Structure 1
Amino acid sequence: MNFIKVRSTSIRLHSTGDPSAPPVVLLHGIGRSLEDWSPQHSRFESDYRVISIDMPGFGLSGRMPETTTLPVLADAVWATLDALGETRPVHLMGNSLGGAVSMTMLAAAPDRVATLTLVNSAGFGREVTMALRILALPGLGKQMLRHIDRHTAPRVERTLFADRALVTPERVEMAIRIARQPDFAPVYLEIARALGGFRGIAAPWRTELLASVTPHVKPTMIVWGDRDAILPSHHLTAARTAFPHAQSHLFPRTGHMPQIERPDEFAALIHPMLASVPA
């Protein structure tokens, strides 16, 4: 893992593979970290330069000075790639919030995107787990985020996976470490409230984002886990409507992170799409 300075902010990233190979960029969800993509590095690094990033204010990265929004996160990822000297079109993959950030990046700089992979992505429906809705309540959200510990963190992790065996001590410890970062709670609440509230994910930003991104047709894969307890799998239907040219897949017996629960199947599904794009 490395840290680089991006506009005076310390950004944590993990880069593997040949730096001259086509770049793959992996983005995590809200409150998460680049560890959510760890299983995919070994499955892509023989053919690609694989870059996973702790987005600003999440994982172990510092925050940007502005209030955290999708455009701020998207711009920060582009700036991180610039700081790495990576200006070629990238294969973008985003999980949950990372999917919405990936779509925002595509809308802002379509020439810099080679392919788009959306994994249980935010942006396709109002429904979201009640835990995230409660976080939008004044005062209560901050209190909840300050009490992620060895009692609460395992419960949070269990909501992410259909296979509870994946709630490992290492994942629990990382969740606690992330929650102790000084920027974690403020950034989490800023982006959560920008995207919705107690009634769910707000429609205006979703409508605006999809309108801005769908004219930029790129090879696209949309995947979901059928037992997602965070963003329900029927959002995949809306995603297929928004991206009629996209390939899609519903993983059985899988939760919010197919890239972890079905690592081999996930990689096998994505590889052909990436290989179809000239280097």
Structure 2
Amino acid sequence: MSGATSTGDVLTINGTGLFVDDRGPKDAPTLLFVHGGPGQGSYDFMHAQGDRLAERLRVVGVDQRGVLRSDPLPSGAPLNVQVLLEDFEALRQALDVDSWTILGHSAGGGYAIRYAHQHPASVRAAIYDCPCWDSDGTDRYRLPIAADLLERYGELEAARRCRELAAKPERLDPDDQSWGAMRALGKRYNELFFHQPDNTDALDRIGSQSGLTEDQWRRGVSHLPLLTEMYESKQHLLPELSQPSLLVHGRHDLVVPPDDVQAFRDSVPNGRVHTFERSGHFAYIEEPDEYAAVVTDFVVSAHR
């Protein structure tokens, strides 16, 4: 163990240093948070939820390899989702956890469903928070809404491009640059992710108060190659999930389409859904107390 900080440690896992924020009683039910982005890091989640959840749970937030406070990826180092899944499993063993609940947010929901499918004995239960299980479906749901915003703010060419992509007959992929078209919103881009107007700058505020460097935040771009796998649907895995499973989402979230929520209801044998009525994509920031209560109750129940 090296690189200790006030909020975590860097552990050597599968040959690289992973920053691990491990809070709460070691004998409590354990929750692993899997961030999305790709390449976002676990700081904002642990800032908003770490201490709340640690009142009754052991909560582990990890910056995935190459991200934020973890070691930078060497040039040319291989990276795919399978590598991340192997890191999660090696981390579980390093922390001497028999089995845990995994909570995957956004793109992390795609990683989490694959981990739960591959390692059923390691995953006592699973929480999918606004999961991105197929970026093609996510983009087609979100692009028309982004187009409306772009038109409102006078970005007509970008709005046209968003509508064009949403209507594309073939499946979307990273080369279509859907995110780039929506990024024409500039500082208003976060209006796609937060419901409450006062929260649209929440991630910027949390980041600016973190004490982390620009270089650390920029490490997340090393995960852009994972976009390709985000456009591969994971919905076929839903009926095969054996664990108690909870899908949580904001009523106004634009990442998990209503069709995906219904597919979860219809397909997961031991699944249920909770909707946060006053949230977009980041309920853990917009409704933090309700979020902590829902997650804690589910995890405690699953570990009885």
Q: Normalised by the size of structure 2, how large is the TM-score?
A: 0.72
Q: Using the alignment, how far apart are the partners of 1:25 and 1:5 within structure 2?
A: 17
- Code of the aligned partner of 2:131: S
Residue 23 of structure 1 pairs with residue 58 of structure 2: no
- Code of the aligned partner of 1:245: N
Deviation at 1:191, TM superposition (A): 0.6
Q: How does 1:205-220 map to 2 (within 5 A)?
A: 206-207=234-235, 210-211=236-237, 214-220=239-245
For 1:159, the equivalent position in structure 2 comes to 192
Whose helix proportion is higher, 1 or 2?
A: 2
Identical-pair percentage:
19
Contact 1:66 1:72 in 2 (8 A): no
For 1:118, the equivalent position in structure 2 comes to 128
- Code of the aligned partner of 1:73: L
> Among residues 272, 275, 279, which one is paired with 1:247 in the alignment?
272
> Among residues 2, 6, 20, which one is paired with 2:9 in the alignment?
2
SS for the counterpart of 2:59 is strand
SS for the counterpart of 2:32 is strand
Q: Using the alignment, how far apart are the partners of 1:273 and 1:115 within structure 2?
A: 9
SS for the counterpart of 2:302 is coil
For 1:191, the equivalent position in structure 2 comes to 226
Distance verdict in 2 for CA 1:157–1:111, change over 3 Å: same
Q: Using the alignment, how far apart are the partners of 2:214 and 2:132 within structure 1?
A: 21
SS for the counterpart of 1:71 is helix
Long gaps (5+) in structure 1: 197-201
For 2:52, the equivalent position in structure 1 comes to 43
Distance verdict in 2 for CA 1:58–1:16, change over 3 Å: same
> Among residues 63, 77, 85, which one is paired with 1:54 in the alignment?
63
Deviation at 1:135, TM superposition (A): 8.7
Q: Using the alignment, how far apart are the partners of 1:123 and 1:179 within structure 2?
A: 30
**Residues 190-244 of structure 1, C-alpha deviations (whole Å, 9 max, x = no match):** 1112222xxxxx44xx24xx33x63342121111112113333442112222314
Residue 232 of structure 1 pairs with residue 257 of structure 2: yes
Which stretch shows the higher mean deviation, 105-114 or 221-230? 221-230
Q: Using the alignment, how far apart are the partners of 2:178 and 2:137 within structure 1?
A: 19
Contact 1:179 1:185 in 2 (8 A): no
Q: Using the alignment, how far apart are the partners of 1:158 and 1:135 within structure 2?
A: 23
SS for the counterpart of 1:57 is coil
Deviation at 1:178, TM superposition (A): 6.3
Q: How does 1:31-110 map to 2 (within 5 A)?
A: 31-38=39-46, 39-62=48-71, 63=73, 67-83=78-94, 85-110=95-120
Q: Using the alignment, how far apart are the partners of 1:238 and 1:216 within structure 2?
A: 13
Deviation at 1:257, TM superposition (A): 1.4
SS for the counterpart of 1:4 is strand
**Residues 105-128 of structure 1, C-alpha deviations (whole Å, 9 max, x = no match):** 111111111111111011167232
* Aligned CA-pair RMSD: 3.3
Between the two proteins, the alignment pairs up a number of residues equal to: 258
Q: Using the alignment, how far apart are the partners of 2:55 and 2:251 within structure 1?
A: 30
Long gaps (5+) in structure 2: 1-7, 147-161, 166-171
**Residues 19-54 of structure 1, C-alpha deviations (whole Å, 9 max, x = no match):** 222211111112312123222222221222110111
Distance verdict in 2 for CA 1:165–1:104, change over 3 Å: same
SS for the counterpart of 2:84 is helix
Deviation at 1:256, TM superposition (A): 0.7
Q: Normalised by the size of structure 1, how large is the TM-score?
A: 0.78
Deviation at 1:186, TM superposition (A): 3.6
> Among residues 222, 228, 248, which one is paired with 2:247 in the alignment?
222
Q: Using the alignment, how far apart are the partners of 1:4 and 1:155 within structure 2?
A: 37
For 2:156, the equivalent position in structure 1 comes to none
Contact 1:254 1:262 in 2 (8 A): yes
Distance verdict in 2 for CA 1:186–1:46, change over 3 Å: closer
